[in-house]
Amino acid sequence: MAAIFAASAGAETTLIEGTKDGGRKILISGGGRCNVLPLVLDETRFITDSSVNTMRRIIRSWPLAEQRRFFEQEVGIALVDEPALRKVFPASHKARDVRDGLIALADARGAKRMMETRVHSIAPAGTAWRVTLTNATELSADAVIVACGGLSVPATGSDGAGLAFARALGHTIHPTYAALTPLLDDSGAFATLAGLSLTVTLTARSATRSATATGGFLFTHHGYSGPSVLDVSHVLVRSRQEGDTGKDRARLTVRWTALDDDAWDLALKPAGTRTVLGAVRAEMPDRLATALIAVANVDPTRSLAELRREERLRLIDTLVRCVLPWSGDEGYKKAEVMGGGVSLGEIDPRTMESKLHPGLFLCGEVLDAFGPIGGYNFLWSWATGRAAGIGASTAPRAGA
């Protein structure tokens, strides 16, 4: 995106790509379909340790509707809404069409590509920039855009090079961590439920952070996954990373259905010969109902008329505020995105230019901000890439 807009503005633009094809995170997103954008944007769902106001200025620099028009009219990709998932996909449901369309547009706008090429270092050289490749070749540019991604899914080529470049140039790097990653549980408490999925509301809370998400939840052989898990995982990841223990250690609780305390109290009122198991499994899968009744230490065969008050309250607490055991996370290997990164306070939110080094621009995952799953992190990348491309094109002598 940065190359497209820099070249479109008339800058002589060279795109240096470490892999042979580029855009590999696009290819694996959305199960190979690529959730290009969120259907509706809620900017309060972005996370940063930097200035929230600066982050929001960046997000608003390229409104959602304008980004959509760009893909449909400039890239030439028809998009379709999926309201149930709150996402926007290419009509072809092929992520490759998105990746190939962006590369084709960069080519058409005049950007030159150097594929399977790695950068060793970047450094200011007077009023210009010196870019040294790993093969010792040196390039000179009026402006440099760092769009290297972060640390998530290293198999796609994300190796943290952008962070290393920014750090070497004196930028503040907020602590990085795996975000939107599955969680692990070695207790075996719910091991028999592997493969079971449903919609839940999850809340993760530590001494300093909290997050709540409603969405898909999946029991895995090693723990938990699904959209709701990924969206709150950063709270637990950071709690573990920061060494929280005891009451400060992040706690994960789940409301298994849409029913609250009062609704469950009503559902568990005596009704003929109906049993506890019969009442609970009317609202959720049988296997889960059996497991949760066991967690509450209630006899599933007991009739609702025989259920004691303390048993009913204990069961309702398990159904509405069940504590999920967790022991760790899948880390960067499975993380959709990296949290933390270059401080937004050191970036001009209008152009993505470094406040420390004129002619240096940073965009995408290397910056300290991320959003939930569902196209949010692509929206951030598209917006910051566009701003960096336009900003770099106005550098002296308009080279990038």
Q: Which two tokens stand for residue 90?
A: 């290419």
Fold assignment, 182-329: Helicase, Ruva Protein; domain 3 (1.10.8)
User: Mean pLDDT across the chain, nearest whole number?
Assistant: 96
111 and 4 in contact (C-beta within 8 Å)?
Answer: yes
Check residue 304 and give left, alpha or beta (phi > 0: left; psi -120 to 50: alpha). Answer: alpha
Looking at residue 360, what is its pLDDT? 98
213 and 174 in contact (C-beta within 8 Å)?
Answer: no
What does the alpha-carbon distance between residue 140 and residue 128 come to, in Å, rounded to a whole number? 7
233 and 47 in contact (C-beta within 8 Å)?
Answer: no
Residue type, 173: I
pTM over 0.85: yes
Looking at residue 348, what is its pLDDT? 97
> Which CATH architecture is the domain 2-178+338-398 placed in?
3-Layer(bba) Sandwich (3.50)
Residue 319 has pLDDT above 90, yes or no: yes
Q: What is the pLDDT of residues 157-195, one digit of tens each?
A: 999 999 999 999 999 999 999 999 999 999 999 999 999
Residue-range domain boundaries for the chain: 2-178+338-398, 182-329
What does the alpha-carbon distance between residue 278 and residue 286 come to, in Å, rounded to a whole number? 9
Q: What is the pLDDT of residues 280-296, one digit of tens each?
A: 999 999 999 999 999 99
What does the alpha-carbon distance between residue 381 and residue 5 come to, in Å, rounded to a whole number? 13
pLDDT band at 398 (very low <50, low <70, confident <90, very high): very low
Phi, psi torsion values for 204, nearest 5 degrees: -110, 130
Task: Calculate mean pLDDT across residues 306-323.
Answer: 97
Residue 149 has pLDDT above 60, yes or no: yes
Looking at residue 395, what is its pLDDT? 78
Percent of the chain with pLDDT over 70: 99
Residue 396 has pLDDT above 90, yes or no: no
Number of Cβ within a 10 Å radius of residue 154: 14
389 and 106 in contact (C-beta within 8 Å)?
Answer: no
CA distances from 305 to 108, 130, 273 (A): 73, 79, 8
CA distances from 370 to 152, 156, 176, 269 (A): 12, 18, 11, 45
Q: Which residues pair with 14 in a beta bridge?
A: 112
Residue 400 has pLDDT above 90, yes or no: no
Q: What is the pLDDT of residues 72-98, one digit of tens each?
A: 999 999 999 999 989 999 999 999 999
Looking at residue 271, what is its pLDDT? 86
Q: Which two tokens stand for residue 207?
A: 């001494």
DSSP for 66-92, please give it. Answer: HHHHIIIIII---EEEETTTTEEEETT
Residue 397 has pLDDT above 90, yes or no: no
Q: Which residues pair with 141 in a beta bridge?
A: 129
CA distances from 280 to 186, 268, 314 (A): 27, 8, 13
What does the alpha-carbon distance between residue 111 and residue 400 come to, in Å, rounded to a whole number? 10
294 and 280 in contact (C-beta within 8 Å)?
Answer: no
Counting DSSP H helices and E strands in the chain, the numbers are: 13, 19
Q: What is the pLDDT of residues 47-66, one digit of tens each?
A: 999 999 999 999 999 999 99
Residue 358: strand, helix, or coil: coil
- List strands edge to edge, sheet with 37-38: 37-38, 87-90, 79-82
Residue with tokens 């889960």: 288
Q: By mean pLDDT, which of 125-134, 193-202, 390-399 is the weakest?
A: 390-399
